[in-house]
Amino acid sequence: KMVTRAVAALSRFTIRARCILFAARSHVNCEIKGDVAVIRISDPNSKVNTLSLQMQKEMTEVMDEVWGNSAIKCVVMISSKPGCFIAGADINMIQACKSTEEVTRLSQEGQKIFEKIEKSPKPIVAAINGSCLGGGLEFAIACQYRVATKSKTTVLGTPEVMLGLLPGAGGTQRLPKMIGLPNAFDMMLTGRNIRADKAKKMGLVHQLVDTLGPGLKSPEERTIEYLEEVAIDCARGIVNKKLALTKEMNMMQKIQDHVMSYSFVQNRIYSTVEKKVLKQTKGLYPAPMKIIECVKAGMEQGPDAGYLAESQNFGKLAMTPESKALVGLYHGQVACKKNRFGVPEKEVKTLAILGAGLIGAGIAQVTVEKSINTILKDITEEALNQGQHQVYKGLNDKTKKKSITSFERDSILSNLTGQLDYSGFEKADMVIEAVFEDLAIKHKVLKEVEAVIPPNCVFASNTAALAIKDIAAASKRPEKVVGMHYFSPVDKMQLLEIITTDKTSKDTTASAVALGLKQGKVVIVVGDGPGFYTTRCLAPMLAEAVRVLQEGVDPKKLDSLTTGFGFPVGAATLADKLGIDVAAHMAENLGKAFGSRFGGGNLELLKTMVAKGFKGRKSGKGFYVYQSGLKDINPELKEIVESYNMMPTPAVSSDSDVQYRLISRFVNEAVLCLQEGILTNPVEGDIGAVFGLGFPPFLGGPFRFVDNFGADKLVEKMKTFEEVFGNQFTPCQLLLDHAKDPSRKFHRLIH
């Protein structure tokens, strides 16, 4: 018995040794464990695995060897990277293509590889730990069996739609069959990530494996090993017919499947989904409709037609400006998740926030979630109570959605201290003030705070419009003063705009950026000036919106014009959300700073509204009336607007003209910010506009918009408007430069 074991061990050793000899490959490695081939994926040059050309080449080689080796009965496919199975196709690979045909070919090659995987005579078990997205998911669902860890990092999804693409390697064909039309559409059209437990329920994976804690190795390492052990058992179980590949369905599922098999039911689904998509995208995003088209082709005309439609549409989509804009945003977002100011000398371990209002409490929530001690200070118990409740509610909602346990919620909340005095500020590494937007008040708190904080503590001001240097004027240490402009609601809005003055030290900036990134924000860093970047772009657009209202367009129409252009929220609704008082305050301040360029609409209109108590959403009335979840046009608005009535000029008042009047003022101001050095680069400009202000994502941001639309065409339009309205539409010099020379682009051309 002993001898046989020794021989077995020896032969295993030699096989392993042989395998290592083979492994001149860098991305894919194969270990043969008896009758199981364990294929391990790891891209040596990246934190994540992508289906790059190299990966595909090595995978094909390895699979050919596996299929050719009669000693191998089954296969386990696993990543040796913690936290990532395969994160998707290599975006650069798609970007490198110059034509629709080239991308289509890429898709077809992927389809072919996965078809071979699907038809493998030897069962392949995908062992999934970490992100399994896009092409990675398509790979996994081509395998015969899927085992996934319950880790929080394990997510499955098809995010292609967010890049203006579709799952182009069989996803549109396999997913509907595997999880049914409704679930497949949900996944492919929203691009959302599915957690492992949900994936199991949906039938996307067959088995779940627990994550492991400390043992004789690190938890991450041992969890992957354990996943592999379980996957090997599964693979052998399939070979021995001990494990069924099709899950037994319960009665409900059987009925559902039966109902779904009728073509009229399917057609009903298609039309419902199409309607919903059109309503949400306003027809501005081509990818969702193409996804529906591919699914339909496969279901109605069979796999050949389905796969062909998929590869061709993938090719077409990759060449659309929408996809390029979205891919650009993706890259921009990645760039804005890095700290270009380096590692700060001191990590923020205690943060103090002044003002427990919406913003202050929102900042508190995203901070405590990262286990940073957070002091939330206000001056009245009532305000403090409300702020603390907001943090609790934000976390409790997560508990209700089961993304955190009640215990985790409590433990997160224990990082929060609510108080009315300055005790504990001597330990603060950073203070963010989110008090009322009034320079005198800001000066008052700055002085109070500087009297109690340690010398290395950063003072950050959350303001939407006040210049940071004016606030810093009251400081004893202006190098420690920085602006941090959060967007409301802070826990939902991804952007953080950081404002530096010429006195702000590099370490102060690094510290602010580091905190923002830790809070999960996409961070842009801009120069100081009235309205910085985001507010400054928004103000002229809102001024124009007011003028449009004065010209007799009602708020609903205004909203539909703006959302029709691709903004997620209409201009009137946005102003209500922002607060009419805030908008008026902002318009007045910026009007003083920039003069008539920021004119257009009559500021008095907003002021009258405020005087009547129409402060927007928060007061229940603004442009709209908000009552029990419904919103209707404020009936008293008409009277106010009429008193500021303006005659529209027909030549510049078509729907399209109105849209371009709004957008061109936004874009021109953005370009001017780059010209004046408020912005360091166009990437941050695009990211700021899209993530902070809802600039239409499919346009990729104001700079990408100018590149694609043509600076010359935009200038032409602006000049027409200029003739009627004056300097509010005077194109800035940089825009004129671009108009003059069509080869000048803000972004490097992506073919």
Partner 1 sequence: MEVDRLLGSGKLGKPFWGGNTCAEFKVQLLWLPFSSSKSKKTLSKTGVKNIVLVDGVRTPFLQSGTTYADLMPHDLARTALQGLLNRTGIPKDAVDYIIYGTVIQEVKTSNVAREAALGAGFSDRIPAHTVTMACISSNQAMTTAVGMIAAGQCDAVVAGGVEFMSDVPIRHSRKMRKTMLSLNKAKTLGARLALLGSIRPAHLAPELPAVAEFSTEETMGHSADRLAAAFGVSRREQDEYALRSHSLAKRAQDEGLLSDVVGFKVPGKDIVSKDNGIRPSSMEQMAKLKPAFVKPHGTVTAANSSYLTDGASAVLIMSEEKALALGYKPKAYLRDFVYVSQDPKDQLLLGPSYATPKVLERSGLKLADIDVFEFHEAFAGQILSNLKAMDSDWFAKTYMGRTSKVGSPPLDKFNLWGGSLSLGHPFGATGCRLVTTVAHRLKKEGGQYGLVAACAAGGQGHAMVIEAYPQ
The whole-angstrom separation of Cα 554 and Cα 8 is 82
Q: Got the DSSP string for 88-124?
A: -B-HHHHHT--SHHHHHHHHHHHHHHHHHHHT-SS-E
Query: Residue 196 or residue 273: which is nearer to partner 1 going by CB?
Result: 196
In whole angstroms, the minimum distance from the beta carbon of 5 to partner 1 comes to: 13
Query: Residue 68 or residue 213: which is nearer to partner 1 going by CB?
Result: 213
Query: In this structure, are residues 443 and 467 in contact, taking their beta carbons and an 8 Å threshold?
Result: no
Q: Is 226 in the site for partner 1 (CB under 8 A)?
A: yes
Q: Is 212 in the site for partner 1 (CB under 8 A)?
A: yes
The whole-angstrom separation of Cα 576 and Cα 571 is 9
Q: Is 376 in the site for partner 1 (CB under 8 A)?
A: no
Tokens 């289906």, residue located: 51
Query: Residue 209 or residue 699: which is nearer to partner 1 going by CB?
Result: 209
Which residue of 207, 281, 333, 675 would you call a contact of partner 1, by CB under 8 A?
207
Query: Residue 264 or residue 407: which is nearer to partner 1 going by CB?
Result: 407
Backbone φ/ψ region at 677: left (φ over 0), alpha (ψ -120 to 50), beta: left
Which residue of 219, 564, 620, 710 would you call a contact of partner 1, by CB under 8 A?
219
| 555 membership: H or E segment, kind and range | helix 555-565
The whole-angstrom separation of Cα 288 and Cα 165 is 8
Q: Is 264 in the site for partner 1 (CB under 8 A)?
A: no
Binding span for partner 1 by CB under 8 A among 159-167, 215-223, 413-421, 614-622: 215-223
The whole-angstrom separation of Cα 575 and Cα 583 is 7
Question: 667 vs 655, 676, 683, CA distance in Å?
Answer: 18, 14, 14
Q: Is 302 in the site for partner 1 (CB under 8 A)?
A: no
Kindly identify the residues of this chain, within the stretch 595-624, that bind partner 1 according to CB under 8 A. none
Give the interface size with partner 1 as a residue count (CB under 8 A): 18
The whole-angstrom separation of Cα 619 and Cα 308 is 55
| 524 membership: H or E segment, kind and range | strand 522-527
The whole-angstrom separation of Cα 200 and Cα 152 is 14
Which residue of 215, 454, 520, 677 would you call a contact of partner 1, by CB under 8 A?
215
- The Cβ of residue 643 has, within 10 Å, a number of other Cβ atoms equal to 12
Query: Residue 223 or residue 373: which is nearer to partner 1 going by CB?
Result: 223
Binding span for partner 1 by CB under 8 A among 153-161, 218-226, 562-570, 674-682: 218-226
Active-site residue 497, yes or no? yes
Query: Residue 220 or residue 588: which is nearer to partner 1 going by CB?
Result: 220
Point out which residues pair with 353 in neighbouring strands: 376, 432
In whole angstroms, the minimum distance from the beta carbon of 214 to partner 1 comes to: 5
Q: Is 380 in the site for partner 1 (CB under 8 A)?
A: no
HSE-up of 584 (CA within 13 Å, CB side)? Answer: 19
The whole-angstrom separation of Cα 615 and Cα 9 is 78
Query: In this structure, are residues 47 and 81 in contact, taking their beta carbons and an 8 Å threshold?
Result: yes
Site string for partner 1, 381-410 (x = CB under 8 A): ------------------------x-x---
Binding span for partner 1 by CB under 8 A among 208-216, 338-346, 621-629, 726-734: 208-216
Query: Residue 227 or residue 391: which is nearer to partner 1 going by CB?
Result: 227
Quote the strand ranges of 331-372, DSSP E. 350-354
Query: Residue 132 or residue 227: which is nearer to partner 1 going by CB?
Result: 227
Q: Which residues contact 45 (CB under 8 A, 6 or more apart)?
A: none
Binding span for partner 1 by CB under 8 A among 118-126, 209-217, 290-298, 379-387: 209-217
Binding span for partner 1 by CB under 8 A among 226-234, 475-483, 554-562, 707-715: 226-234
Pairing relationship of beta strands 194-195 and 350-354 according to DSSP bridges: unpaired
**Helices of type H across 336-485:** 358-368, 381-400, 406-413, 439-450, 468-472
Which residue of 233, 588, 722, 737 would you call a contact of partner 1, by CB under 8 A?
233
In whole angstroms, the minimum distance from the beta carbon of 71 to partner 1 comes to: 25
Q: Is 222 in the site for partner 1 (CB under 8 A)?
A: yes
In whole angstroms, the minimum distance from the beta carbon of 213 to partner 1 comes to: 2
In whole angstroms, the minimum distance from the beta carbon of 230 to partner 1 comes to: 5
Which residue of 44, 68, 213, 650 would you call a contact of partner 1, by CB under 8 A?
213
Binding span for partner 1 by CB under 8 A among 46-54, 60-68, 203-211, 667-675: 203-211
Q: Tell me which of 497, 544, 669, 684 is the catalytic residue.
A: 497
User: Which phi and psi (to 5°) does residue 482 adopt?
Assistant: -145, 160
In whole angstroms, the minimum distance from the beta carbon of 218 to partner 1 comes to: 8
In whole angstroms, the minimum distance from the beta carbon of 216 to partner 1 comes to: 5
In whole angstroms, the minimum distance from the beta carbon of 15 to partner 1 comes to: 22
Sign of CA dihedral 354, 495, 588, 627: negative
Rg (the chain; Cα; Å):
29
In whole angstroms, the minimum distance from the beta carbon of 462 to partner 1 comes to: 35
Tokens 């309503």, residue located: 279
Tokens 């046009």, residue located: 633
Among candidates 231, 154, 322, which has minimal Cα distance to 698? 322
Identity of the residue numbered 278:
L
In 3-state terms, what secondary structure has residue 197? helix
Which residue of 216, 252, 440, 630 would you call a contact of partner 1, by CB under 8 A?
216
In whole angstroms, the minimum distance from the beta carbon of 400 to partner 1 comes to: 15
Query: In this structure, are residues 357 and 383 in contact, taking their beta carbons and an 8 Å threshold?
Result: yes
Query: In this structure, are residues 556 and 633 in contact, taking their beta carbons and an 8 Å threshold?
Result: yes
The whole-angstrom separation of Cα 736 and Cα 452 is 51
Q: Is 676 in the site for partner 1 (CB under 8 A)?
A: no
Question: 72 vs 6, 82, 122, 235, CA distance in Å?
Answer: 21, 27, 8, 11
In whole angstroms, the minimum distance from the beta carbon of 231 to partner 1 comes to: 10
User: Which phi and psi (to 5°) does residue 637 adopt?
Assistant: -70, -40
Q: Is 230 in the site for partner 1 (CB under 8 A)?
A: yes
Site string for partner 1, 403-442 (x = CB under 8 A): --x-x-----------------------------------
In whole angstroms, the minimum distance from the beta carbon of 153 to partner 1 comes to: 16
Residue 151 structure tokens: 């880790």
Residue 731 structure tokens: 């194109």
Query: Residue 6 or residue 451: which is nearer to partner 1 going by CB?
Result: 6
Which residue of 7, 57, 177, 210 would you call a contact of partner 1, by CB under 8 A?
210
Query: Residue 410 or residue 716: which is nearer to partner 1 going by CB?
Result: 410
Query: Residue 212 or residue 416: which is nearer to partner 1 going by CB?
Result: 212
Q: Which residues are catalytic?
A: 497
| Residues engaged in binding partner 1 (CB under 8 A) | 207, 209-219, 222, 226, 230, 233, 405, 407
